[in-house]
Structure formats: C-alpha cells, structure tokens
Amino acid sequence: MAFTGSIKGWSITEMLQLIRTMRKTGAMVVQSATDYGDRKQVVYFRNGMVIAVDTGSEDLGAILLEENYINRADLDEAIRLQKTNLKGKRIEQILAAMKKVDAPRLVRAIRIQIERVITMLLQEKNAKVSFDPEAPLRVQALSNGVDVQNILMNAAVKVDELKLVRETIPNTSVVPRRTKRGDDNLKEIALKLDEWKVFLALDGKTDIKTIIMKLKMDDVLVLKAIAFFIEEKWVEIPQSEEDTRKKILIVDDSAVIRKSIEMALSDTGYGLISAATGEAAIKLADEQNPDLILLDVMLPDTTGLKVCKTLRADFEALKNIPIIMLSAKDAEIDKNLGLHAGANDYITKPFKDGQLVEIVHKYLKN
C-alpha cells in the first residue's frame, strides 16, 4: 500500500513513525523548496528499519574522509577511476572495491550519514513527503537496518539543543575569541577533554565551521561547548566587527570534493562558502561578493563555463575577481575553453592540497 501526504497533514516525524509501525519496505521521499531550487532527499526502509539515505550527492564519501577512514591519496585515486574506468559508480563503491575501506567502517559511515540526514529532515519547515514502496535502492545500504525510533530520539534531542544554541550563536561563520577573563582563568577552568579541545581551538581567527571541521567532532557538541563558554564570559563573539577575511566560493556538485577542498584550505585563514549547483553559485556570488571562486566545469543544472560567462557579463562587481575552473578533463582544448569563458586559471582533478593552496595564494596574496 502506497501513501502520500503533505507536510501540512503529516510531519516528517509522524511519517517516520508510521513507516516504522507498519513495517514498510520502500522509500520515503522528502521534497523541499530552497532559495537555490528544489531539493529531494530519500530515506530507504526495509521492514520499517532505515537501511540507507540518499541526499543526491556523495556525502557518504565526504564522511569517510572526515572520519579519517580514508586519506586524500585514496580519494584522489577513487576520483580518477570514477572519471575513467568506473563511470557511474559512486565514490564509496570504488573505495570498497579498491579495499581502501572495509565493511565495518563503511557500515559506521552509513549510520553517521543516516543520523545526520534524519536530524536535518526534522528541521524541514517547507516540504512535501511521500512514500514509494517500489523505489529501487540506488545507494550503499546496511544489511541490517537501524530502528528509526532510536534515531528519532537522538535527532530530536539534537534539534532541541540546536534551537537553544542558535539563540547564542547566530551561525557557524562567526569567529569567536577568548576574552581576557577566559585567558586569565585558563589554568583554573575545569573542563572535560572534548571541551578543552574546543576551548584551545578558539584562536580569534578561525570561524566555527572551520573549527568543527579541523577538530573532527560532532557539530552539536562543539556548538554547545562554545555556547557554554560564551555564557560563562570566557569567550565572546564580536558583534560590531565585520568579517574582513577574504572569502572563497567553492562550487562543486560532489560533497566529497567540496569537503576535500574545505579541508585543504582549512588552515589558510580564508572564509569558505560553498554551492552544489550553478544557480546556487550565481546567487551566492551576488550576495557574498567572494574574493575568489573555485568552479567545477560539470554541474547538475548547467556548466561551469556558462556560470563563469554569466558572472563576468551580468555582475559588475564580479567582473575582475579570480575564477579558477576545476575539471577532470586535462586536454588543452578544455583548458582553453575555460580561459575563453573568463576563467583566470584551470586545475585538473584530482589535485593535491599543496597545488590548490599554492594557486589560491597566488591570486589572493597579490
């Protein structure tokens, strides 16, 4: 039996509980409208148990990298194979075939992905939800499913915690800094080990998003710790100071590529923003006025070449900012097409961290 509904009639929580109670097999599809277009996320069930999620991008590969289950060399090789011998295969499938990630770690990564996606879905305010019992499984899945009840309980706690945290921390792009009181009491403050790691990472130069990425800790845990420090007046977020860091806009439809670029640039001190589509890239470029754009050639809704031409032709403020094209194609004609579209430079994927940092510095340090 298939059933459909609108978020006005069914909340995502109610739909998840209904699927669990009825022990349904199939896929719950959540479609939501964002400023950057419609987004579809799919939660797959087997007998009422969650076995996989699909967000439309390769964020499972990004989790493997984030959790140190793979390294950059493994990722570079997987990306190369994906573009050549193994077209159509997902990054995690290639890594498993290469024996770079074993089954237990892949299972843990899928569980992390499932929890993150459902936590995010519970915060959806404008979405339509439906259930398709015939939906084919298109992503890597667990052989034994996860009970959605436990996920819902943990996710609901995180949602409530985030609501409280947001009252203190407006967004993760802000740069917190230790106060004089915090520095003076540094040796006397009694904190748990994870809280100490967060406290010591607050250098007054790094935004919260980058701190979370570098510490490789749960984002809610980091945010809660910083909110506590602010409450104790050991840490402050300057309200009147404008963020003067140079900003880089990262545009790539692959979550794993975006994550690897963010990790490569995490120590550079630049502000990082990202987009997965051409439409989102144009909107963010217009709103944020970045100092440099890293632009993938192949995007799901258009090409990086068209995005580059649009930015150069239609936005006066963006006519002269450096645009660096990213592509798996390394033929001379492809590089010439990128430069003809208005790009300043061209990097072939996969690329090394040092190469990326060097070319970014080349344009932003001058």
Superfamily of domain 247-364: Response regulator (3.40.50.2300)
Q: What type of residue is 70?
A: I
- Close Cβ partners of 159 (under 8 Å, ≥ 6 residues apart): 119, 122, 123
Residue given tokens 């439809």 in the structure block: 253
pLDDT score of 1? 44
Look at residue 235 in the predicted model and tell me its pLDDT.
92
Predicted local confidence at residue 7, as pLDDT: 39
**Nearest 10 degrees: CA dihedral of 277, 342, 328, 53?**
-10
- Greatest pairwise CA separation for the chain in angstroms: 65
pLDDT at 242: 62
| In the block, residue with structure tokens 């917190």 | 176
Sort strands 323-327 and 345-348 into parallel, antiparallel or unpaired. parallel
SS3 content of the chain, % helix, strand, coil (to 5): 45, 20, 35
Of 228, 215, 216, residue with least CA distance to 161: 228
Question: 104-140 b/e with 16+ CB inside 10 Å = b?
Answer: ebbeebbebbbbbbbbbbbebeebbbbbeeebeeebb
Annotated domain spans of the chain: 4-161, 174-236, 247-364
Position 160 scores a pLDDT of 77
- Say whether the peptide bond before residue 350 is cis (omega within 30 degrees of 0): yes
Residue 140 near residue 106 (C-beta atoms within 8 A): yes
DSSP state, residue 127:
E
Which residues fall within 8 angstroms of residue 22, CB to CB, at 6 or more apart? 48
> What is the helix (H) or strand (E) element at residue 28, kind and residue range?
strand 26-34
Distance of CA 93 to the CA centre of its chain: 20
- Give the CB-side neighbour count of residue 223, counting CA atoms within 13 A: 21
Residue with tokens 């409530």: 160
Would the pTM of this model clear 0.85, i.e. be above it?
no
Q: What are phi and psi of 49, to 5 degrees?
A: -110, 140
How high is the mean pLDDT in each 10-residue block of the chain (366 residues)? Answer: 50 85 92 75 94 87 88 86 85 91 93 89 82 90 88 77 80 88 79 88 89 85 91 83 80 86 86 89 92 92 91 89 87 81 87 88 86
Q: Distance between CA atoms of 27 and 82, rounded to whole angstroms?
A: 27
Which letter does DSSP use for residue 57 in this model?
A: S
Output the six-digit token pair for 360: 């970014």
What tokens appear for 193 in the block?
């080990």
Read off the tokens for 300: 């799901």
Q: Taking a C-beta distance cutoff of 8 angstroms, is the pair 247, 270 a contact? A: yes
**Residue 322 in contact with residue 359, Cβ under 8 Å?**
no
Among residues 282, 341, 357, 275, which one has the least CA distance to residue 317? 282
The pLDDT of residue 366: 66
